[in-house]
Amino acid sequence: MKGEPAVLTGQHFLLGDHACAEGALAAGCRFFGGYPITPSTEVAEWLARRLPEVGGIFVQMEDELASMAAIVGASVAGARAMTATSGPGFSLMMENLGLAAMMEVPCVVVNVQRGGPSTGLPTLVGQADVMQARWGSHGDYEIVAYSPASPQECFDLTVKAFNTADHFRIPVLVMADEVVAHMMERVTIPPAEAIPRVERKRPRQGPGGNGFLPFKADDDLIPPMVHAGEGYRIHFTGLTHDERGYPAITAPAHDRLVRRLVDKVRQKAWEIVEYEEYRLEDVSVVIIAYGSTARSARRAVGLAREQGIAAGLLRPITLWPFPGERVKKLAERVRAFVVPELNLGQISREVERFTSLPVLGVNHAGGAMMPPEPILEAIREVAG
């Protein structure tokens, strides 16, 4: 059976979910373990057909606990691996997301947000998992989370997620939402050789030598990664461990390890952070919006400008790390921030950490796309 190539170079009209799936394939993802859940199921369905075509492995797992464990397992064996889910499944993945952080195993999780808590609104949009994305698993760790606002970004940011995951040896999240995932738009897929590819750092010494320390980090705080079956006789554990990978159940060992895990991402946060700016030159009111809500926010900027208010948009592309430094800089020359989001105030709290100016939330618990009008109203309110 012959199918299409892994990289579908050309112009396509794609669903956001399908664009995520194509992004994964283009990035070289060759293992997907997932469990069906609206509104992410199209990612799994697409990959169930496409992965075998390119020699990749698709497994519909028995649940999301298994899905997350499987992608970590696939990754320690050397594969680029991904899962896709939505709120309830995302909650089930949290423990093994922490395992990936602790074992430093790169992998990608797509979470297509719907209305929560619990089963909530299975088919309707939400953006209320963004703090769970940051803090959902227990313990201290850093996460990278991308927020696509279009099918094109579903493709591009999924590719990027794999590269960031492999570079830092961390789990990376693609925090889509139902509107973006179920929207069809033009997606341009570049030629295979133009797809950016960052390889995992691999050991510089062969197996068999003495004194090899599989968890000894370089100056960038990232240790090279050994895969299963390479002869190094490595031990990976979710317990606090030393540079040999051996359990080390002491306060100093724990502080050393957790600090390194956090710092390897934090010290490069400025390299990871991405955002888009729209009409911020002469701005007095800045809207901060992400995902599908950023699309409505753009419209609100236009409407405000028609009414003579200098509004603009800062759109975080990475929710985590959050572009807080950019907020700080903007705060020096604007009047206020407006933060519309499909939750009852999550990213607005993050914005408040970086400014003492008024931060006005425009909130809806989810179920429908954020309309531009309430955003415009908030802009008018803070513009005075």
Task: State which of residues 16, 33, 151, 361 lies at the interface with another protein (CB under 8 A).
Answer: 33
For another protein, the closer CB: 238 or 367 = 238
Residue-wise burial string across 286-320, b where 16 or more C-beta atoms lie within 10 A, e elsewhere: bbbbbbbbbbbbbebbebbeeeebbbbbbbbbbbb
Q: Which residues contact 306 (CB under 8 A, 6 or more apart)?
A: none
Cα–Cα distance measured from residue 288 to residue 78, given in angstroms and rounded to the nearest whole number? 38
Classified as helix, coil or strand, 224 is coil
Min separation Cβ 67 and another protein, Å: 8
Is 1 a residue that touches another protein (CB under 8 A)? yes
Judged by CB under 8 A, the chain residues 192 through 221 that form the site for another protein are 207
Min separation Cβ 37 and another protein, Å: 16
Is 61 a residue that touches another protein (CB under 8 A)? yes
Residue 342 and residue 293 in contact, taking contact as beta carbons nearer than 8 Å: yes
The one segment of 64-72, 173-181, 295-303, 335-343 that binds another protein by CB under 8 A: 64-72
Cα–Cα distance measured from residue 104 to residue 210, given in angstroms and rounded to the nearest whole number? 23
Residue 35 and residue 64 in contact, taking contact as beta carbons nearer than 8 Å: yes
The one segment of 149-157, 165-173, 224-232, 319-327 that binds another protein by CB under 8 A: 224-232
Min separation Cβ 104 and another protein, Å: 13
The one segment of 123-131, 181-189, 222-230, 310-318 that binds another protein by CB under 8 A: 222-230
Judged by CB under 8 A, the chain residues 93 through 132 that form the site for another protein are 95-96, 99, 103
Residue-wise burial string across 177-194, b where 16 or more C-beta atoms lie within 10 A, e elsewhere: bbbbbbbebebebeeeee
Is 85 a residue that touches another protein (CB under 8 A)? no
Task: State which of residues 7, 14, 37, 74 lies at the interface with another protein (CB under 8 A).
Answer: 74
Task: Please give the distance of CA 14 from its chain centroid, rounded to a whole number.
Answer: 20
The one segment of 51-59, 153-161, 188-196, 376-384 that binds another protein by CB under 8 A: 51-59
Residue 52 and residue 58 in contact, taking contact as beta carbons nearer than 8 Å: yes
Cα angle for residues 149, 146, 312 (degrees, 5° grid): 50
For another protein, the closer CB: 40 or 75 = 75
For another protein, the closer CB: 45 or 95 = 95
Cα–Cα distance measured from residue 99 to residue 379, given in angstroms and rounded to the nearest whole number? 43
Is 231 a residue that touches another protein (CB under 8 A)? yes
Residue 82 and residue 105 in contact, taking contact as beta carbons nearer than 8 Å: no
Min separation Cβ 143 and another protein, Å: 18
Contacts with another protein, residue ranges (CB under 8 A): 1, 30-31, 33, 52-53, 55, 57-59, 61-63, 65-67, 69-74, 76-79, 81, 95-96, 99, 103, 207, 228-239, 244, 246-247
